[in-house]
Amino acid sequence: MAQAPGMLANPFQVAQEQLDIAAKKLNLAPQVHAFLREPMRELHVTIPVRMDSGEVKIFKGFRVQYNDARGPAKGGIRFHPQETIDTVRALAAWMTWKCAVVDIPLGGGKGGVICDPKSMSEGELERLSRGYVNQVGRILGPETDVPAPDVYTTPQIMAWMMDEYSKLVGHTVPGVITGKPLALGGSLGRDDATARGGVHTVRDACKHLGIDPSKATVAIQGYGNAGYFAAKLLPEILGCKVVAVSDSQGGIYNPRGLDSEAVLAHKQRTSSVVGFRGSKPISNADLLELDGDILAPSALEEVITESNAGRMKPKIIAELANGPTTPEADDILYKNGVFVIPDFLCNAGGVTVSYFEWVQNNYGLYWELDEVHRLLDKKMTKAFHDVLGMAQKNKVHMRTAAYMVAVARVAEAMKLRGWV
Torsion angle of alpha carbons 237, 239, 243, 246, nearest 10°?
0
Cα(321)–Cα(88) distance, integer angstroms: 15
98 in catalytic set: no
Cα(198)–Cα(379) distance, integer angstroms: 12
Burial tier of 38 (Cβ tally within 10 Å: 0-12, 13-18, 19+) = middle
- Select which of 110, 180, 241, 267 is catalytic: 110
Reduce the DSSP state of residue 242 to 3 states and report it: strand
Cα(260)–Cα(335) distance, integer angstroms: 33
Our measurement of the distance from residue 53's CA atom to the centroid of its chain's CA atoms, rounded to an integer in Å, reads 35
Residue 339: closest CA among 202, 221, 195, 231: 202
The three-state DSSP-derived secondary structure of 254-308 is CCCCCCHHHHHHHHHHHCCCCCCCCCEEECHHHHHCCCCCEEEECCCCCCECCCC
Residue type, 174: P
Paired strand residues for 44: 62
Q: How many CB atoms lie within 10 A of CB 171?
A: 6
Catalytic residues: 110
